[in-house]
Amino acid sequence: MNYFSSDFKLGILGGGQLGKMLLAETRKFDIQTYILDPSKEAPSQFGAKQFFMGNLMDFDTVYEFGKRVQLLTIEIENVNLDALDTLEAEGLPVYPSPKTLRLIQNKGKQKDFYEDNSIPTAPHQRFVDLNNLKKSLENETLEFPFVWKCAQFGYDGNGVKIVRSAVDLVALPDVECIAEEMVPFKNELAVIIARSVSGEVKTYPVVEMEFHPEANQVEYVICPARIDEKVAQKATEIALNVSKAFNHIGLLAVEMFQTKDDDILVNEVAPRPHNSGHYSIEASYTSQFENHIRAILNLPLGNTDSKVAGIMVNLVGEEGYAGQVVYENIEKIMAIDGVTPHIYGKRETRPFRKMGHVTIVNENMTEARKIAEEVKNTIRVISI
Ligand code: ADP
């Protein structure tokens, strides 16, 4: 198949920042790309050959969009899977497959999958609703504390709560959920794996999430992780086992906990480009976005090694500001060597909304980490 400067059309379900960064690669290769997203202000609306507005959970909308393209991928997991099943049955290549997406869309199913495939993960219990969970507390088959997670449609931690006592139950919505044992972790790690249609596999280095000591928010994604080589090897091996078990096509980002005893437990996966791989645009030989496109089109995968140390800082809306966004001090951070901001193109800021990210690259990790802190303390996402 000739994808380059041809009539071939790639479809992407979802037009957020991940779609926008995928479009930078399809533009580079001159591959026609169609995007479907519910928002008329989607970050991907300008870079696409054609942008369609529509509900990603609606069967007809997704099916009709699929009929316009020769290959379909996603940048968000919450899409209508029945439409993807039908399109796939009619011969359209869909990567990742609806089968993989079905296992991942529901956190309960995803956790069962790890247990069935002997992949280390925190013990969990599944509940059809909140009442069901409360009954388990009453008959003492579930105990405080635990981590509550809604089974579907949670994102960026908004469907996750630490429940320490009965008081914390009041705020929980009445939805299908899981209760997970709390992991006393010392690090959160991630590994991104690219797997092509023909089965070629390449692994990105292990990255580390550094948390704010009080706010419990990820502040920096650091590549390579500053961990023992043995722990990095173990994390990579486990991520590869997860990749084999899913048999996915495209990227698979595997999020893991490194426990106090240096065990590795899988937290969750995403079958697409991931926030933990944004550093790769500037720091790697081949970015995660380029490798996702290469993998789904069955092209040779690019080198996943890093050229330099890379750190990513998320740009989220400052608390207390809502409305037309302003990136205060952006010029100041751009004056520092090796600092590149990515602005996603969302006009309105809200507290904690992901508005962009900044990558810091440097030959030296200690220096990169210092600059990352300076960036974090300088730029502010506020409103007019
Ligand atoms: P999301 O899908 O919203 O990103 P995650 O399952 O990744 O949700 O959870 C969000 C955060 O909550 C994790 O990054 C981690 O800091 C914390 N967390 C999740 N599960 C556990 C657990 N079992 N023990 C301790 N902390 C957890």
302 located within any domain:
yes
Q: Would residue 110 count as lying in a domain?
A: no
Specify whether 148 is located in the same domain as 202: no
Q: In which domain, by residue range, is 264 found?
A: 185-383
Residues 193, 137 share a domain: no
Same domain, 287 and 318: yes
Distance in Å, CA 384 to ligand 1 centroid:
33
Kindly report the protein residue whose alpha carbon is nearest to atom 13 of ligand 1: 157
Question: What's at 71, amino acid-wise?
Answer: L
pLDDT in tens, the chain (384 residues): 899 999 999 999 999 999 999 999 999 999 999 999 999 999 999 999 999 999 999 999 999 999 999 999 999 999 999 999 999 999 999 999 999 999 999 999 999 999 999 999 999 999 999 999 999 999 999 999 999 999 998 766 678 999 999 999 999 999 999 999 999 999 999 999 999 999 999 999 999 999 877 766 789 999 999 999 999 999 999 999 999 999 999 999 999 999 999 999 999 999 999 999 999 999 999 999 999 999 999 999 999 999 999 999 999 999 999 999 999 999 999 999 999 999 999 999 999 999 999 999 999 999 999 999 999 999 999 999
180, 198, 227: which is the final residue of a domain? 180
Is the distance from CB of 62 to CB of 14 less than 8 angstroms? no
Cis peptide before 205 (omega within 30 of 0): no
DSSP 9-45: EEEEE--SHHHHHHHHHHHHTT-EEEEEES-TT-TTT
Its pTM stands at 0.97
- The answer to whether residue 256 sits within a structural domain is yes
| CATH code (residue 168) | 3.30.1490.20
In a domain, 101, yes or no: no
Asked if 199 and 164 sit in the same domain, the reply is no
Structural domains in the chain (count): 3
107 in a structural domain? no
The reply to whether 28 and 144 lie within a common domain is no
Residues 62 and 77 in one domain: yes
Ligand 1 mean position, distance from CA 280 (Å): 23
Asked if residue 162 and residue 219 are part of one domain, the reply reads no
Residues at CB less than 6 angstroms from ligand 1: 122, 147, 149, 154-157, 159-160, 180, 182-183, 188, 255, 267-268
Is the residue at 245 inside a domain?
yes
324 in the same domain as 217: yes
Does residue 176 sit in the same domain as residue 199?
no
DSSP β-ladder status, 348-349 and 323-328: antiparallel
Phi, psi angles (nearest 5°) of residue 120? -65, 130
Q: Report if residue 349 sits inside a domain.
A: yes
Protein residue with least CA distance to atom 3, ligand 1: 157
**103 inside domain:** no
